[in-house]
Amino acid sequence: MGHRGATAYRPEHTASSFELAVDLGADLIEPDVVVSRDGALVVRHENELSHSTDVAGRPEFADRRTTRVVGGRERTGWFTEDFTLAELRTLRAVERKPGLRPLNTTYDGQEGILTLAEVVAIARRRSTADREIRVLAELKKPSWFDHEAGVPMTELVAAELRRLGATAPDGTVVVQCFDAAALRQLRADLGHRGPTMLQLVDDAGTDDHLVTPAGLREVSTYAQGIAPSRHRILLRDGDQAMTGVSDLIAQAHRAGLLVVPWTLRPENAFLPRHLRRGAAPSGTGDMQTEARLLLALGVDGLITDAPEIAVAARQELQVAAAA
């Protein structure tokens, strides 16, 4: 699953990033979804725009800079809910991690902001009779949009999925979210024959209740799977050394849930110590071994910035199984 596209090689959430993810073997492309002032569903990692667009250098929007608390964190910048879709269309995408991915900055300013519908259109256009490309849409802070920003995000998502003809369990769009209340609302709105949904699970202690046997059974009443941080499965200590493997995959499968961990990245900065190559955080380590281990443990998919490495890990296991 191409995380915001193929973000190891292109600025995230751009058309070229999603297209490249498909070229590199992704079966699903994963956009994050936020909302504009006029109710458009646009794809950005967060509603604050300064890290992924050129908004900070746009004098016509200087007066939109503000400070607000989103999800319990104070943020200063420019927020999607203060812009119409037409205004957002004028912004240009930039690399969100320039320190780790300096080569991606060569693509800065070349592309604009997409809507969820446009990402769905990419997936449908790239699908063939032999290979369907789907969209794994992550809803970002829907309860905050619903109750604080005054934008009914969850209702807008349900309406857009209906408009796109993407409400079937095997339809083009799979929905994931950290917010269980939003997933429950969507399930109630779209029904149990509605789209496949995944409950995201952070590695923070606040999500511990979701991965107990009782919590997993509860998740199964509204979602078809969990998307946990990979650190919930491949355990590390404070020095980033791998210390073991949890039984989360087996527990989730016993509850009838799929398991799709996030996010595998090729840079040393994100890998356990024994898979790093060299000292530079931006250096390329051995993500393929991490992917192979997770696949061998029985995960049902992988969310990654480098789809071709996950594909290679899958092929490696298939060759070994056939030998």
DSSP 20-60: HHHHTT-SEEE-EEEE-TTS-EEE-SSSB-TTTBSGGG-GG
Q: What is the dihedral of CA 47, 49, 52, 53, to 10 degrees?
A: 140
Q: What is the pLDDT of residue 149?
A: 87
Residue 140 pLDDT level (bands cut at 50, 70, 90): very high
Nearest-angstrom CA–CA distance, 95 and 120: 22
Q: What is the pLDDT of residue 147?
A: 87
Q: Which of helix, strand or coil describes residue 280? A: coil
Burial letters 211-227, b for 16+ CB under 10 A, else e: beeebbebbbebbbbbb
Q: How much is the average pLDDT of 109-131?
A: 98
Q: What is the pLDDT of residue 101?
A: 98
pLDDT tens for each residue of 265-320: 999 999 999 999 999 999 999 999 999 999 999 999 999 999 999 999 999 999 99
Q: How much is the average pLDDT of 78-85?
A: 98
Q: What is the pLDDT of residue 323?
A: 84
Q: How much is the average pLDDT of 97-101?
A: 97
Amino acid at 298: G
Nearest to 113 by CA among 21, 206, 44, 201: 44
Q: How much is the average pLDDT of 56-67?
A: 98
Q: Which of helix, strand or coil describes residue 259? A: strand
- Check pLDDT > 90 for residue 31: yes
Q: How much is the average pLDDT of 85-101?
A: 98
Under 8 Å between Cβ of 133 and 120:
no
- Check pLDDT > 90 for residue 205: no
Q: What is the pLDDT of residue 33?
A: 99
Residue 71 pLDDT level (bands cut at 50, 70, 90): confident
Nearest-angstrom CA–CA distance, 81 and 149: 7
Nearest-angstrom CA–CA distance, 250 and 81: 41
Q: What is the pLDDT of residue 204?
A: 78
Under 8 Å between Cβ of 234 and 293:
yes
- Check pLDDT > 90 for residue 47: yes
- Check pLDDT > 90 for residue 128: yes
Q: What is the pLDDT of residue 135?
A: 99
Q: How much is the average pLDDT of 69-95?
A: 96
Under 8 Å between Cβ of 144 and 129:
no
Beta pairing, strands 28-30 & 32-35:
unpaired
Q: What is the pLDDT of residue 234?
A: 98
- Residue 145's φ and ψ, nearest 5 degrees, are -60, -45
The H or E element spanning position 258 is: strand 258-259
Under 8 Å between Cβ of 3 and 305:
yes
- Check pLDDT > 90 for residue 148: no
Tokens at 42, concatenated: 């646009």
Q: How much is the average pLDDT of 133-139?
A: 99
Average pLDDT of the chain is 97
